[in-house]
Amino acid sequence: MNAVNEEQSLSPVDVVSGAEDLEPTAPDSAHRTWTWTVFARAWASMIINPASLSCGASLLSLGLSVSMAMLAQLVASVILVIALVLNGWAGTRHGVPFPVLARSAYGNGGAHVCTLSRGAVAIMWLSFQIWQATLGVFVALQRCFGVDSMGHQGVAKGLLFSAFLFIHAVLVYLGPARFKGLVKFTLPALSLGLLGVMIWASTIADFGEAMDAIHAEPQTFQGSPVLAFLTAVNSSIASWSTLVLNVCDLSRFSPKQSDQALGQALGLPLPFLITGFAGMWMAGATKDAFGTASWQIPELFAFWSPAVSLLASVVLAISIIVVNVLANILSPINDLMNLAPQSFSFRICGYVTLALSAAVCPWWMFSSQNQFVLTFLSGYGMVTGALAGVLLSDYWIVRRQHLDMKELYSGSANINWRALFATLLGIAPGMPGFVSTLVAKHEFTIPFWEHLYHGGSWIMALAISGSAHVLLHWLHTRMTGMAFRQEGDKQKLETPESSA
């Protein structure tokens, strides 16, 4: 087999195709081409997107200064790199993908809970991205033909959203492999678009005046500066916490541990900070120049010329569609198919995935900065944090980096209930705050639970679930050993003395 060159290894389609084959990647495999440079470029490509801009801009709604918001993102990126490297270790050492690694902690049957949870988050991101494309085209059409030309805004947005769902459904029908070549054009286009947004922001407002304007806006977040900082760290971690779970899908293609560790350490923090900074500048500049802070890319189209806004909306829509097809659709489709491979087809699972993305109701979930940070990011952060806590503690503490490969590929349907219970324990402390935020009734819970949820849903869930998993495993081992010794003593008592 010919060695796979570096450009081929960068393709998400190649990665997905490799991940669909759950067999471990051999140490001498020709697919082990993800060197540190590949990892660094791959992370930079993933981070530069409209969601990262929105995340950066939304942090200012917490009342933080730009320097504190940037510090929060730096702290978050360091924590993310550590978690990514630790959870990616098994992929490089054993060559196993995420669904197989999940079996080691949750059991072959219980791993479905882990993978489906990851798939559910992908569906939420899919919904967010489709809504971004919808808003972009809607605003661009308004800019071209006038505000009144679109009729009832809710109906127009609903039709555009449905149209994008239909386009995605067609692509699911055709299959993603045919669109592999588009990635080479969309990712550079997004990078140039990020630079263009920053240049445009500098032309409409001085940076200092832009930041003064955004900080003069009344803040709706209720909490101390310390809580606001912790909330910013927590939401920044949550925005990429899904990759913490399935990073071994990528690290299994690394020839050495140093490649995945160095590549992620270099490829994540700097693009994370630059993109977040661009989002903050974008929000402050639009607030100073036009009186309203824009925290989503599509909102900027209203300030550009009709031709530029229409072209930008088309580029944004195409890039979002391609990213969705390659990243946000395949994960939940494979997770759903894994439930009953002989009964569920790729297309049916794809249509179900799209239907679920519409059920998320993105027009409400992502309607404001606080909804995005406090409900969406913090909400699923407590789930991904709990799952990551179990995976990390199981591999590094319980199993001490040893995986029983024969058991993982045995096809049994065993469930590790202790891991599932530990996951629930990690999620539980954040639930009161989540429910209170979701229903927007702050009298529903005491402030302590809301602060705990906003300021540490991911870290708290990871620490609790990881500790609980280790403790439950220790108790199980002790009880099993005690029962074994008691059974041995009983057999000795029942054995006749003459037979000794």
82-132 pLDDT per residue, tens: 999 999 999 999 998 888 899 999 998 898 888 888 888 888 888 888 988
3-state secondary structure of 113: helix
Structural contact between residues 237 and 458, judged by C-beta atoms closer than 8 angstroms: yes
For residue 248, give the nearest of 25, 78, 40, 470 by alpha carbon: 25
- On the CB side of 318, how many CA atoms lie within 13 Å of its CA? 16
CATH number of the domain located at residue range(s) 12-365 in this protein? 1.10.4160.10
Q: Specify the DSSP class assigned to residue 372.
A: I
**pLDDT level of residue 9 (50, 70, 90 thresholds):** very low
Provide the mean pLDDT of the chain. 81
Q: pTM for this one?
A: 0.80
Rounded CA-CA distance 25/54 in Å is: 36
pLDDT score recorded for residue 15: 40
Spell out where 107-260 has E strands. none
Distance of CA 212 to CAs 66, 175, 266, Å?
10, 49, 32
Rounded CA-CA distance 301/132 in Å is: 12
Structural contact between residues 278 and 112, judged by C-beta atoms closer than 8 angstroms: no
Who's near 155: CB < 8 A, 6+ residues apart? none
Distance of CA 320 to CAs 44, 101, 129, 271, 338, Å?
16, 30, 6, 19, 26
For residue 125, give the nearest of 271, 236, 250, 239 by alpha carbon: 239
Distance of CA 254 to CAs 89, 262, 374, Å?
10, 11, 36
Least confident of 114-118, 432-436, 474-478: 432-436
pLDDT score recorded for residue 18: 35
pLDDT score recorded for residue 137: 92
The tokens describing 288, both together, are 């100073």
Q: For 202-226, what is the mean pLDDT?
A: 77
More confident residue, 495 or 399: 399
SS (H, E, C) 229-279: HHHHHHHHHHCCHHHHHHCHHHHCCCCCHHHHHHHHHHHCHHHHHHHHHHH
Rounded CA-CA distance 116/112 in Å is: 6
**pLDDT level of residue 412 (50, 70, 90 thresholds):** confident
**What ranges do the domains of the chain cover?**
12-365
pLDDT score recorded for residue 464: 95
**pLDDT level of residue 12 (50, 70, 90 thresholds):** very low
pLDDT score recorded for residue 438: 64
